[in-house]
Amino acid sequence: MSKQEIHPKDYRYVVFSDEAAGFSFLTKSTAKSSETTKWKDGNEYPLVKIQISSASHPFFTGEEKIIDTEGRVDRFKARAEKAKKMKEALENKAKKAAKEAEKKIAKENSKIEK
């Protein structure tokens, strides 16, 4: 005794293709697709193109390559570089202020000694 209307009607076989790695696999899914492809068994199935899969993901491949389609890594590096420059500028400003204070103290000490 099971409920008839709770399962999706478009649950079917779909080919997922990782174009970067040249890897495809066939599985059941409800993913929408307007493209189709012929699979190894000779049948035609809906095709869903994916950017990353187990064949290209660094965790599964053991490689540390960066796949950045939205520029997140570049933006992060730019922010890190900007923060580094600001830190260096603040350090230089603090050193300059410390030298000025030393000169002022030395000048006052030389007046006292006279």
pLDDT digits (tens, 9 = 90+) for 92-109: 999 999 999 988 888 888
Q: What is the pLDDT of residue 69?
A: 67
27 in any annotated domain: yes
Number of structural domains (the chain) is 1
The pLDDT tens digits of the residues spanning 1-55 come to 567 788 888 899 999 998 888 889 999 999 999 999 999 999 999 999 988 887 7
Tell me whether residue 50 is in a domain.
Answer: yes
Q: Is residue 46 part of a domain?
A: yes
Q: Is residue 86 part of a domain?
A: no
What pLDDT is attached to residue 48?
93
Asked, for residue 15, whether it belongs to a domain, the answer is yes
Residue pLDDT, tens place only, 41-76:
999 999 999 888 877 776 666 666 566 667 788 888
Residue 1 lies in a domain: no
C-alpha distances (whole Å) from 41 to each of 19, 37, 75, 89 are 20, 11, 45, 65
28: which strand partners? 13
Q: What is the pLDDT of residue 20?
A: 81
Q: Considering the entire predicted model, what is its pTM?
A: 0.49
Give residue 8's pLDDT.
86
Evaluate whether residue 78 is within a structural domain.
no
In a domain, 89, yes or no: no
Structural domain including 18 reads: 10-67
Tokens linked to 99: 């030298």
**What are the distances in angstroms from CA 48 to CA 12, 35, 38, 65, 98?**
13, 7, 13, 24, 63
Q: How far apart are CA 70 and CA 27, in angstroms?
A: 28
